[in-house]
Amino acid sequence: MNGAKTAYLEKKLLDMVLLGEAFTPPAVVYLALFTADPGRSGSLANEIADPAYERQEIAFTAAADDLESGSFCQNAYDIEFPQASENWGTVTHAAIMDAATGGNALYVVELDIAKEITIEDFLKFPAGTFAVKED
């Protein structure tokens, strides 16, 4: 699964690189789950609402080069969400966020396989599942 930058992150990067405006990246990023596409705006409207749900911290590998697709980072460790205490519906998208709650979406990813999560289900993504690429 590869992430696409949100409009928020695109603007921050362009302003930083081309205009010299300061941008402090988050020290920690989190993975959020959605039942519909957050879009380029990174809308939080369809983020999972279960009280047991919480975004999970995501750590990335150092950037590496792929001669065919450009530079990339991927999640270094498994990402495990808490057990669902209610039906989440079908999880179709994820976003890399700059805060544990609220905040801004940096990248949005459509899951390769949508997953219906019901009461007492767990959701886990193995290391290397989420890649962020630049070409």
Per-residue pLDDT tens digits for 18-29: 999 999 999 999
- State the chain's mean pLDDT as an integer: 93
Across 12-39, average pLDDT: 96
Kindly state whether residue 133 falls inside one of the protein's structural domains: no
Please choose, from the candidates 86, 113, 107, the residue with its C-alpha nearest in 3D space to the C-alpha of residue 32.
107
**Within-domain flag for 57:** yes
Question: Does residue 131 belong to any structural domain of this protein?
Answer: no
- The β-bridge partners of 30 are 57, 97
**CA–CA separation, 91 vs 102, rounded Å?**
19
Phi, psi of 71, rounded to the nearest 5 degrees: -80, 150
Answer yes or no: is pLDDT of 68 > 80. no
134 assigned to some structural domain: no
Residue 119's Cα: distance from chain center in Å?
23
pTM (two decimals): 0.93
Instruction: Compute the distance between CA of residue 69 and CA of residue 63 in angstroms, rounded to an integer.
Output: 13
Does 130 map to a domain? no
Indicate whether 84 belongs to any domain. yes
Q: Please tell me the distance from the alpha carbon of residue 116 to that of residue 85, in angstroms, as a whole number.
A: 14
Count CA atoms within 13 Å of residue 92 on its CB side.
8
- 61 assigned to some structural domain: yes
Report residue 133's pLDDT band, with 50, 70 and 90 as the boundaries: confident
CA torsion through residues 118, 120, 126, 130, sign = positive
pLDDT recorded at residue 71: 87
* Residue 97 domain boundaries: 4-20+27-122
Q: How many separate domains does the chain show?
A: 1
Residue 129 lies in a domain: no
> How does pLDDT run across 40-66, given as a tens digit for each residue?
999 999 999 999 999 999 999 998 887
Tell me the percentage of the chain whose pLDDT exceeds 90: 84
